[in-house]
Amino acid sequence: MQSLTGTVESIVYRSDGDDFTVFRLVPARENVPVSVVGNFPAPLVGEELDLTGDWVEHSRFGRQFKAASCRRLAPTTVKGIERFLASGAIKGIGPATAARMVARFGDRTLEMLENYPHRLTEIEGIGAKKAAVIRASFAEHSDLREIMLFLETHGVTGAYAGRIYKHYGAAALAVLKENPYRLAAEVDGIGFRIADHIALALGHDKSDPARLTAGIEYALLQTAQTGHCCLPEEVLVQESAKLLGADAIDIAVCLAGLVRDNNLHTEDSQGTTLIYPGLLYHAETQVAARLKRLQERAFPAESGDAVRAVDAWEEREGITLAAAQREAVAAALRHGVLVLTGGPGTGKTVTVKGILAVLAEQGFKILLGAPTGRAAKRLSEACGREAATIHRLLEATGGREGAPQFLRDERTPLDADVVIIDEASMIDITLMYYLLRAVPEGCRFVLVGDVDQLPAVGPGSVLKDIIRSGTVPVVRLSEVFRQAGESVIVVNAHRINRGLFPDTRSSADFQFREVADEAAVAAAIVRLCGEELPAAGLDPLADVQVLSPMHRQQCGVENLNRLLQAALNPSTPARPSVGGGALRLGDKVMQTRNNYGKGVFNGDIGYIVGADSGIALVRYPDGDVLYEKAEIDELILAYAMSVHKSQGSEYPAVVMPLVAGHYIMLQRNLLYTAVTRAKQSVILLGTKAALNTALANDRTRRRYSLLAERLRGESLC
């Protein structure tokens, strides 16, 4: 390694993420600038740097200094100070003011700025107000520089300094020195791994209790991301020990302390101690308590009138409800909480319309909701009355991903006597908690959904657990009302749900194309979407959805998206790119996190209708949303998506690979969920063996949760 000291002359390139830069530097005691590349944020023009690295020969750009570390020095020469101040880094100072300042204070200019800012008014053109602006900006800049310097001298890239400073301001250094693990919990974009890297680099001990605590909390968080609400103690200890490279005994001791101090919660069930993070414990206990209360306290309804009301409604609609459907309507009148479940075409929506008619007749005020915008829209169209997403019902506002803010809660509950929620299988334990918190006392609560669909992406298997508890009235609809000829998809969905091979012969609307090789499957999918389906009158972007069981491999979501983008929306000069070239004008994209500020949510699909200077305009069904450069990473391509992400949506045509490489995800409920997303046609491509594996595999991994036990009022200790 060699060292190189000099002054930054100009910035040639800075990456979007601010973690790669190329600049020209004039070495000390020389006049000829050299090129420097480095994996750190771009420095400021005029800054003096002390670099460590190697000289390399680049095939296109020639000789350059590849810097491994960068230490910023305060400029010392008059020329350096002037260049630094003139760079625009400090608000209120431009080149002319910079020249006047160094002319007045010489090499003591920075000292004046730091310690005697009132003397700035001695300079022509600087009044008291401007002096205050300059002083504040300089202070901010020097704080930030200090954090960068602190991180870089400890071998950590200064790229995180901006985020850390934004969150803690002047207190940042103190936090870094005292407990860098706080960053993981408090700073957006910094997780446990980065915080741990910083802490270890700063010399914190591997067995530091703050490290063990943060590691245990991180391991629990990871657990929630795989669908569990809690974890057996031994499993958590093992996972944490592996993650931290620490002794299991130390972890167990730390864990006991966290439980003692109520930072984590425990529950003993059937001889196993389960550990909960605070929010999930609260959510689960509250969901159970609130469901029980709603069951007990529903406003009474007049059931005598109800029979007449159902009869009158049937006559008006020209329909005769089946016995199970009538039972559901009656149960909605009798009970405070009701679950209505059934597969596709079993008449759930018709039953909901019956429930609506009867309850509205009794003067109840009814709210309809669903977890996704598309499901809410469908419900609204089917029922002929307004339906909203749960987030909209709860009036979601800004807030961090983990703790959204809802204006509707127990203090300002929903204005309703009945709340009916469709696609309830998609609701995780935290959303159910926020929803129930806002359902007023005495209100009826009806959950409608297909319990055989995949469970929610988030923690818990709420609908399944409520049904499993046996404490809430459940009406199961099993008769399929749609005619077989009318929908081979519905017939096959029910066959798949029973583990039977789908009928792929009698109609072109449900095809299985045998293709042996995985690369050939991917190519066939591209041909299908690019040529065959458009020739059959389908719009490959709006009407066709490719679904895949996994993200990786040739037939995974990522590769299919790359291939489909190249085929359906190829790169041309007329289609500017955004997001570092990953996305371009015309692309079909998906929002990947809940952004309450923008009103777009995880799973929302749109199209890029504008792209300019790194900024994108995305058209969603509810309107256009602008993404600044730094926000583009919330978007991914959506020509193909995972089956999990497709929950709650429907598409005219679904195309899906079924290949051996996706072995671990070949499950019956995944195939069932994918197939039931299609309205007109399904095309599966792959091997019979993979299809059979999916049909045979009905073992769904049990999610750790005690909601059913709590509803049953079981003593958990």
Ligand X SMILES: Nc1ncnc2c1ncn2[C@@H]1O[C@H](COP(=O)(O)OP(=O)(O)OP(=O)(O)O)[C@@H](O)[C@H]1O
What is the enclosing helix (H) or strand (E) of 65?
strand 62-73
Of 175 and 368, nearer to ligand X (C-beta) is: 368
CA distance 190 to 41: 17
Of 211 and 677, nearer to ligand X (C-beta) is: 677
Name the minimum Å distance from CB 351 to ligand X. 7
Name the minimum Å distance from CB 498 to ligand X. 17
For 255, the token pair is 């864990």
Residues 6+ apart with CB under 8 A from 710: 284, 285, 288, 289, 716
Of 241 and 355, nearer to ligand X (C-beta) is: 355
Query: Strand runs (DSSP E) across 507-578, as ranges?
Result: 510-514, 544-548, 577-578
Question: What three-state secondary structure class fits 132?
Answer: helix
Name the minimum Å distance from CB 406 to ligand X. 28
- Report DSSP state, residue 202: T
What is the enclosing helix (H) or strand (E) of 81?
helix 78-86
- β-pairing, 640-642 vs 34-38, is unpaired
Instruction: Using CB under 6 A, list all residues that contact ligand X.
Output: 319-322, 325, 342, 344-350, 481-482
* Contact between 514 and 388 (Cβ < 8 Å): no
Of 330 and 690, nearer to ligand X (C-beta) is: 330
Of 480 and 616, nearer to ligand X (C-beta) is: 480
Residue 530, annotated as binding a ligand: no
Of 348 and 408, nearer to ligand X (C-beta) is: 348
Cα–Cα nearest to 231, from 255, 250, 208? 255
CA distance 461 to 380: 26
Cα–Cα nearest to 217, from 398, 402, 399? 402
Residue 347, annotated as binding a ligand: yes
Of 321 and 491, nearer to ligand X (C-beta) is: 321
Name the minimum Å distance from CB 365 to ligand X. 23
Residue 257, annotated as binding a ligand: no
Of 211 and 494, nearer to ligand X (C-beta) is: 494
For 445, the token pair is 């609560």
- β-pairing, 544-548 vs 640-642, is parallel
Name the minimum Å distance from CB 349 to ligand X. 3
Name the minimum Å distance from CB 489 to ligand X. 9
Name the minimum Å distance from CB 347 to ligand X. 3
Name the minimum Å distance from CB 328 to ligand X. 11
Q: Angle at which helices 278-297 and 429-437 pack, to 10 degrees?
A: 50
CA distance 142 to 74: 10
Q: How many CB atoms lie within 10 A of CB 120?
A: 25
Residue 346, annotated as binding a ligand: yes
CA distance 659 to 687: 6
Q: What one-letter code names the amino acid at 593?
A: R
Residue 348, annotated as binding a ligand: yes
CA distance 285 to 277: 12
List residues forming the annotated binding site for ATP. Answer: 345-349
